[in-house]
Amino acid sequence: MKAFATALLVCVAACGQGRAIFNVDVYSFLQGTGRDTFPYVIPPSLSTTVNTVQKVSLPPGFGSSGVDSVRITSGNVTLVNDSGAGSIGISVYFAGDSAGTYSAPAALTISPTAVSGADTVAVPISGDISAVVDSLFNQSVLWVRIEATGQNSSLTQTAGGTGILTALMIRVVLQDKVF
């Protein structure tokens, strides 16, 4: 990857005061691994949490960069509810290692989305996460955890279904000093 990095840095160097913008397709790292889907089963009157964790490789050279902004520009989870009713909230966490994603504050929290019966609901995920995670982009490896928290308000019926991640693109804007 050093050859990539060198070519990349030379290219950035050639662009003077321009910014370097990185669009990191996190979803591509999850796609096809099984970690892009999270089945949920929520017993009556209870809540449950499911997680999916993924390592993401970043280009080297971010180390001395000044991060202008980090934003989830394009993200989507499709909730395919099979039965029951409830609500599913989604949170996204970032950390430098896998375990750290469980202690890190949520970078982005999406308000619970109601599901009922056999239903398919798209939940868009987007927002500015600069304040929470900018320093993490100083590393060449990033871990992301997506947490879905389901709440079943029914007293009798179990809610069940599958959440399917279909997109998650993070846009990182760096100041010129990439290296």
Number of residues that bind other proteins (CB under 8 A): 34
3-state helix, strand and coil shares in percent for the chain, rounded to the nearest 5:
15, 55, 30
The residue behind tokens 């995670």 is 133
Q: Decide if residue 19 touches other proteins (CB under 8 A).
A: yes
Q: Decide if residue 179 touches other proteins (CB under 8 A).
A: yes
Q: Decide if residue 31 touches other proteins (CB under 8 A).
A: yes
Q: Decide if residue 16 touches other proteins (CB under 8 A).
A: yes
Q: Decide if residue 85 touches other proteins (CB under 8 A).
A: no
C-alpha separations of 46 from 10, 51, 84, 149 in Å: 55, 17, 13, 11
Closest to 46 in 3D by CA, of 133, 141, 157, 135: 157
Site string for other proteins, 42-81 (x = CB under 8 A): ---------------xxx----x-----------------
Q: Decide if residue 4 touches other proteins (CB under 8 A).
A: yes
